[in-house]
Structures are given as structure tokens and as C-alpha cells.
Structure 1
Amino acid sequence: MTNNPTNFRHLYYFWVVAKEGSITRAAERLGLAIQTVSTQLAQLEQSIGKALFTQQGRRLTLTEAGRLALSYADQIFLLGEQMQEALAEAGSGRTRLTVGISDSLPKLTAYRLLEIATQLPHPVRLVCYEGGFDELLADLALHRLDVVLTDRAVPSGTLLRVFSHQLADSEMIVAGVPQLAGAYRAGFPQSLDNAPFLLPTRNNALRGKIDEWFESHGVRPDVVGEFEDNALLNTFGRRGLGLFFAPSALAHDIEEQFGALLVGRVPQVREHFYAVSNERKIKHPAVEAILSAVHQGVLAGT
């Protein structure tokens, strides 16, 4: 293997071949002769000293080196496409806000927060990605995201240079469809003993607090479902499969969108919402606007 810098044109041809699965289809996509693509792919393999593909019948299959190279090429060229989009918008007066949304964050909360950005005097284009907490933090550290919205702070001692900014916190409520709400409202919270519940999985920051609250009141719920994704939990709740916890700040939205009514308030259990950024001080104007609006009480009930 030589120490020559990577030829990114050759790497781009490799990326397209890997995505298309054959040199013929890649050449059609690139508008080049098959021989041109084949030659430049061979030059890339020669420069790195490793085979990137192996032939299996009529189809090319990535080698171990090829899979590793593809993982880096994905990052390089997907970021390149994002850069072109961002530069195209730079002269339009529109601000781009790329947001990572933790899959454990209630979607209504994410909407209420991002709605603030859409109401700014200057137009904002939202690009939203959903994923796991650690995955989103890694993307933030690599500057693929401007901010991450989540329900937990970044753990102390992390090697990533990212910083948590608390947006708000809200006491929780127990809610359910009218039939369930009517059956379990009287005598709350002792009435919840053996009640059907939909709960977040145990890797969710909120689950431990919920379990402690049940224990402190001597309540043993009938856990009929556990969900990592909050939106899926709410969908099952809307169908009446069980009671569920929700931020009190969203009580009106939950009733309006899910038809779920208040069973009882749980002030001892509070959910926290954070914006995580690469800077100790938020610099993106849209995120600054969200922070300012939240601190002025835009999220009712927080």
C-alpha cells in the first residue's frame, strides 16, 4: 500500500459501483464507458494495495476491505451531497437546521420545540433524523447535525466534546382512552394496581423513575407492552391497549390527537428535555430561538 493521497474521483466510482452492484449499471448511472469505470476502479485497488470486490457469478461482492472502504465513502459522499444542498440554500436567505431526535423523546414534544423554529421571521428548512441517543451524539460530534433533542443529558466523563442544555422539565401524567381512564381514575394511584400499562423499555431514562413511583405506592401494574420508540407506545395507547405516561405539558395535545384522557397526575416523576450541541454556548440562530422561547414558557405546563 502506498502513502499517496486517495483519489476521490476513483473513490466515487467505487462508491457508485458498490451501490449499483455492477460496473455496467454504475457506468450507466455515471454516463461513462464500462472500461473507464473498470480501469479507474482497478487503479484505486492498486493504490491501496487491496481488492475491494470479488466476483460471484455475474455480481460483484464487497471484500472485507471493500466493506470498510464503503463505510467511509458513505460518510464522505453523503456529507458532500448535504454540503451542496446547504451551499445552494446559502444565498436564498433560508437557514438550514439539521436536527437529531432521540427515539425516546415524545414526538409531540419534538414537534412543539421545532414548531418554534418554523415561526421565526426568516425561513428555516428543517432536516430531521431519528435514532438512538449514542448514535445521534456521534453524528453531532462529526458535525452532521446542528443539535440533538433528547430526554437525557450527556453523561459526565464522555470523550465527545458535546454539551447539554436543559430546555425544560415537566411532571408526568397517566393517561388512557376514555374507557380505561374512567375505570382507573377513582382512587388514583392505588387504583392502578394490576392495571394494564404500556411503558418505555428499561434503557429509557424515564423508566427507572416510573418503577420507583410504582414501588413507593405499592402498585404492581400489569405491563402489557414495553416500547423503545415513544411514537409506537402512543399508537398502542391510542388503540386502548393500556394506560401510559406522558408529559403534563402535552396533556391537551394527547387528548386532541390520541383521544386519551387524564387519569391522574404524577408530580414525583418528571421528564427532562435537552438540546445537545457542539458548543457550550448555542450559536445556531434557530436553536437560540427555541431556547429563548422555552425559557419564556412557550411549553405550557413546564
Structure 2
Amino acid sequence: MAKLNYNHLYYFWQVCKSGSVVRAAEVLNLTPQTVTGQLKALEERLRGNLFKRQGRGLVPSELGQLVFRYADRMFTLSQEMLDIVNYRKEASLLFDVGVADALSKTLVSRVLETAVVSGEPVHLRCFESTHELLLEQLSQHKLDMILSDCPVGSSLQEGLFSVKLGECAVSFWCCAPPSLMPFPECLRHHKLLIPGRRSMLGRKVLNWLQSQDLAVDILGEFDDAALMKAFGVANQAIFVAPTLYGQEHFSREGIVELGSIDSVMEEYHVIFAERMIQHPAVQRICNSDFSQLFTG
């Protein structure tokens, strides 16, 4: 009996995961005709049809579903094996981290400092994006860990774990105080910048504003915390930032705190796949005590 061509099986797996031959061809950097030809060769080897028509598209047949279950286990395990083998890049420990763009980069950098220790060179690579896109990259084994403002439910993301590192209160800041009105009444009389409502903090701030019955003029929503601060300073708008970070850094820039809201906390979580539990950098971060960082 002829051996199974694992390239053909890999192409089939990619078609099932991508949802179409065209999208799989883009991932594989092949032409759709080439992918179709490889699928036909696999069907001949397995003596059955792997797909059936459903409307204008293709869905796996019963045989296709069976083959996909085995292929998915095979290629997922092979990717995990490569993750473990590729921990080391040259003489350094490779550590790919995704950072949610809504988080304070100063606080994030202090968390990441714990992953770097003397005597064990670490090659740290950081990528910034939204929580949703980072989760997708983590599930595709493109990242080792995520720093985000919200946890992940194990029931929704099988094989992923999250650890809460800490939380800190947030304040409203402005380069030029809009008025002598008390907080939070002053928010009604000035342009306001808030974190994007796709982030956990953005939704919390919006809920707080509604609970205070504040009719505010929201000039913009920002996924990137550093960009929100820069835009706020340039346009003399009120913006949101962690209380501790602002009190430490903003005074030298002429930025004043209008008021804090202790009921709204910016949370910091690390999210990682089960296979990364033994990664030394992940262990150091998860086992570190960040209480002093988040409480000042």
C-alpha cells in the first residue's frame, strides 16, 4: 500500500481551516489549481470524496470530517513541538509577547522586566494589537503569551489560561484645566477622550459616565493609550490614564489630575496556552508579586 503524502494532507487541513480553496491557497502561497490538484490526489489515495457541495461552497464529507479530526491533532501537535524546539534562537530564549494596545506601556514594560534575568539571555519580541486579534494569534501558535486588560474564559478558549497580575485605578487628566468646577461636573464642559469601547476599560468608563448621568462630549476613542495621551495634550482635551502612572510622570509635563474613579479599575492579565506553562519567562511573570507596582 502506498504511503500517505503528508503535504496533501496538510493542504486538505488548511482548506478545512480556511473555509475555501482560494483562502487556503493564499495561506499556502500556491495557486487554487495546485491546491485542487493535491486534494484530488489525496481523495484518490483515500478512495473517497473529502468534500461535498453545500450551496455555492464546499463542506467536508463524512470521510472528510474523519480525516480532518486526525489531521488537526497531528498538525496541532507538530506545531506545539516546533514551539518548544524553537524556544531558543541562537543563544537566547525566544519569547514572543502580544500586548493589548489599550494598556499603559510603562506598566507593561515593568511587567516584562521580570522575564529578563541575568545569566539567562532572553530574545524578547513584542507585538501590539487588539485583544481579539492577539487571542487569534495566540491560538495559531504565533505568540507565546499575551498581556491584556481582560481574562479569557477557559470554556470559550479551550487550552488557554489567564492569570490576573493586578489592577489600578484610573483618573481623568488634562494639560489645561477646563474650569474650576468640581469633578466630575467639569467633564461636561470639555472635550473628552476615552479608551476604545472594544477594550474592557473603555466599556467600564462608558458605564461609569452613564451611572453618573454625565452628558459629555466625547471627541474620540483610542485603542492606543499613548496616542490618546498625546492627542489629548495637543488638543487640550481630557483623557483617561492610570492614576499611579499619571501621578509619577504627568506633573513634569504640566498635565494635572482632574479626578480619579476608584470604582473603575484597569486590569492586567497574562494569557498563555497550556503548552507554555513550562516556559521560564512565563513562569517568572506568573510567579512574580506585582502588588507594589499596581498599588504604588
Same fold (TM over 0.5): yes
Aligned partner of 1:5 in structure 2 is 5
Does residue 102 (structure 1) correspond to residue 100 (structure 2)? The answer is: yes
Aligned counterpart for 1:262 among listed residues 242, 249, 257: 257
Q: How does 1:1-302 map to 2 (within 5 A)?
A: 4-7=4-7, 47=41, 87=86, 89=88, 92=91, 94-155=92-153, 157-177=155-175, 179=176, 182-184=177-179, 186-252=181-247, 254-255=249-250, 260-279=255-274, 282-297=277-292, 299-301=293-295
Q: Which moved more, 1:264-273 or 1:155-164?
A: 155-164
Q: Give the letter aligned to residue 143 of structure 1.
A: H
Deviation at 1:247, TM superposition (A): 1.3
State TM-score, norm by structure 2: 0.67
RMSD: 4.3
Instruction: Assess if the C-alpha contact under 8 Å between 2:87 and 2:94 holds in 1.
Output: no
Instruction: Assess if the C-alpha contact under 8 Å between 1:190 and 1:217 holds in 2.
Output: no
Instruction: Assess if the C-alpha contact under 8 Å between 1:196 and 1:223 holds in 2.
Output: yes
Q: Give the letter aligned to residue 267 of structure 2.
A: H
Q: Distance in 1 between matches of 2:217 and 2:184?
A: 14
Q: Distance in 1 between matches of 2:244 and 2:286?
A: 16
Residues 119 and 281 (structure 1), Cα distance of their counterparts in 2 relative to 1, 3 Å cut: closer
Instruction: Assess if the C-alpha contact under 8 Å between 1:184 and 1:263 holds in 2.
Output: no
State TM-score, norm by structure 1: 0.66
Q: Give the letter aligned to residue 5 of structure 2.
A: P
Residues 139 and 42 (structure 1), Cα distance of their counterparts in 2 relative to 1, 3 Å cut: closer
Q: Distance in 2 between matches of 1:104 and 1:257?
A: 23
Q: Distance in 1 between matches of 2:166 and 2:201?
A: 15
Q: Give the letter aligned to residue 207 of structure 2.
A: E
Deviation at 1:173, TM superposition (A): 1.0
Q: Distance in 2 between matches of 1:259 and 1:121?
A: 41
Deviation at 1:151, TM superposition (A): 0.1
Q: Distance in 2 between matches of 1:109 and 1:125?
A: 20
Instruction: Assess if the C-alpha contact under 8 Å between 2:168 and 2:294 holds in 1.
Output: no
Q: Distance in 1 between matches of 2:290 and 2:146?
A: 18
Residues 5 and 276 (structure 1), Cα distance of their counterparts in 2 relative to 1, 3 Å cut: same
Deviation at 1:213, TM superposition (A): 2.3
Residues 268 and 289 (structure 1), Cα distance of their counterparts in 2 relative to 1, 3 Å cut: same
Q: Which moved more, 1:258-267 or 1:187-196?
A: 258-267
How many residues in Structure 1 have an aligned counterpart in Structure 2? 253
Q: Give the letter aligned to residue 129 of structure 1.
A: F
Deviation at 1:112, TM superposition (A): 2.4
Q: Percent identity?
A: 26
Aligned partner of 1:72 in structure 2 is none
